[in-house]
Chain A
Amino acid sequence: MKACLYIAWKDLKVEFRTKQMLNSMLLLALLIILVFSFAFQYLGNVKQYTSGVLWIAFIFASILGLSRSFTLEKEQSCLEGLRLCPVERSTIYLGKILSNLTLVLIMEFITIPSMILFNFHIPVLELIPVILLGTVGLVAAGTLLSALAMNTKLREMLLPVILIPILLPLLTAAVTASTKLINGILDVTSELRLLITYDIIFLIFSYFSFEYVIED
């Protein structure tokens, strides 16, 4: 357990020295909001598309960050070093999940206020459970597939194409729940239940299958 905290700490330390990844994730999220605001300006009711814009921004900005998470290790064979650590492969996965989760949550934490600033109506408190559960599932599946994509010929280019299909059930549940909450419907138990199921299934599955993805 301690080992996975060290791995996460190492990742975050590397990131916060430059903040390259975080900055580009944030800028992408903001750009997406900007572009969609232009695209949808004639739709009239902002509430109708807020959750769509929110999740598109989250998903694409997260994919940008996740794809980097393992290519960084590939440089100068850092992954070899990680693999040499006297810890289980799954510990590396947990460490990676923790660092990725932190980065994605920071990105979301800054994106939401900016959306409110740009005149989107977002009931932050009600949305918190949906966003948290959605983010956990996104990072759990994303970390596994990012490790997988890193070893293909296309490298991180492959990640969005293979990750989004796997995320579709999570996305539909998260977007539906957010749309309901934004429009004042507070009953989202079935969506939350689905998000929790997805998170648990993917955390367990990735935990056990990670060794197959990372071994050389």
Chain B
Amino acid sequence: MQKKLVQVLIILTAITTLASIYATFNAPAMKDERGEVLPDAFRIFYFHVPQAWGSYLMFTIVFIASIMFLKTKAYKWDIYASCAAEIGVVLCTLTIITGAIWAKIAWGVYWTWEARLTTVLFLWFVYAAYLLIRSTAEDVEKRARYSAVFGIAGYITVPLSYISVSLWPGAHPPITVVWSGIEGAAIKTTFFLSLAAYTFLFILLLLIRIRVANSIEELERKKRVMEYG
């Protein structure tokens, strides 16, 4: 069943990502709220937003899988959570990097302490800590339990982080500039095509990562059997 799903996803991902890359470089230029054409760098938008969305998706999976683990104590949930967290941190890092490249061109600086950016950075720290807990746990059972508790605690800070940083005083470049630019059928299609393509890709990555984790688990088990009989 899962093997079939992976095969279907591979085909879907291949077609949609190719199409979205083609569309990304051929879509008409975006305009900002004043109607001025944005520099070509705006095209990073079609990578950047799916990455950000992907990291949120992965962290939501961590949250749900963590709750399920504490409820059922089934290790498959622990594996789901850990794999999603790893991919989530990678995507979060990529979001920050692509965002910085874009910000340099759009705003003239790599980083600004704006609510959305700061929240993403908070998220990155939370899930980096999650991975750190996993790597320092004493045994498999404790690792699963502790990281599940932390995975839930980390996720409930996300909405709070968003509120807290928006309380920050100071002038920030408006992020709405970009959103008002999604006008016209071609830009919309390209955007949703990329979103779909990269979502397929991230889910595919997750499934493959889970398969690897399962194989590692099995290998460990066999090793133990060989050592202790």
Contacts and interface: CB of A to CB of B under 8 A. Distances in A.
Given A152-B136, A154-B136, A166-B153, A172 B164 contact: yes
A148 B144 CA distance: 12
B contacts with A: majority SS:
helix
A130 to B, nearest CB: 13
Interface string A134-165: 00000001001100100111100010011011
Instruction: Name the interface size band of chain B.
Output: 20 to 34
A168 B126 CA distance: 9
Nearest to B125: A165
A213 B125 CA distance: 21
Contacts of A180: 169
B149 A209 contact: yes
Interface in B143-158: 145-146, 148-150, 152-154, 156-157
B183 interface: no
Contacts of A176: 164, 167-169
Contacts of A202: 153
A interface bracket (residues with beta carbon within 8 Å of B): 20 to 34
B138 interface: yes
A165 B160 contact: no
B89 to A, nearest CB: 12
B167 A173 contact: yes
B129 A151 contact: no
Interface string B156-180: 1100110111011100000000000
A162 B161 contact: no
A205 B122 contact: no
Given A158-B133, A165-B125, A141 B164 contact: no
Interface string A173-216: 10010001000000000110010011001100100010011010
Given A176-B169, A209-B149, A158 B164 contact: no
A113 interface: no
Given A168-B122, A190-B167, A194-B163, A161 B149 contact: no
Nearest to A201: B156
A169 interface: yes
B126 A166 contact: yes
Q: Is the interface of A mostly helix, strand, loop or mixed?
A: helix
B164 A148 contact: no
A136 B126 CA distance: 20
B138 A152 contact: yes
B80 to A, nearest CB: 18
Given A141-B153, A172-B164, 12 more contacts: A144-B149, A152-B136, A154-B136, A165-B125, A166-B126, A166-B129, A169-B157, A169-B161, A194-B163, A202-B153, A212-B149, A213-B145
Interface of B: 70, 122, 125-126, 128-129, 132-133, 136-138, 142, 145-146, 148-150, 152-154, 156-157, 160-161, 163-165, 167-169
29 contacts: A145-B153, A151-B138, A152-B133, A152-B142, A153-B136, A153-B137, A158-B132, A162-B132, A162-B133, A162-B150, A165-B122, A168-B122, A168-B157, A169-B160, A170-B160, A172-B164, A176-B164, A176-B168, A176-B169, A180-B169, A191-B167, A194-B163, A201-B156, A201-B160, A202-B153, A205-B152, A209-B153, A212-B148, A213-B146
Q: Which 4 A-B pairs have the closest CB atoms?
A: A169-B160, A165-B125, A169-B164, A172-B164
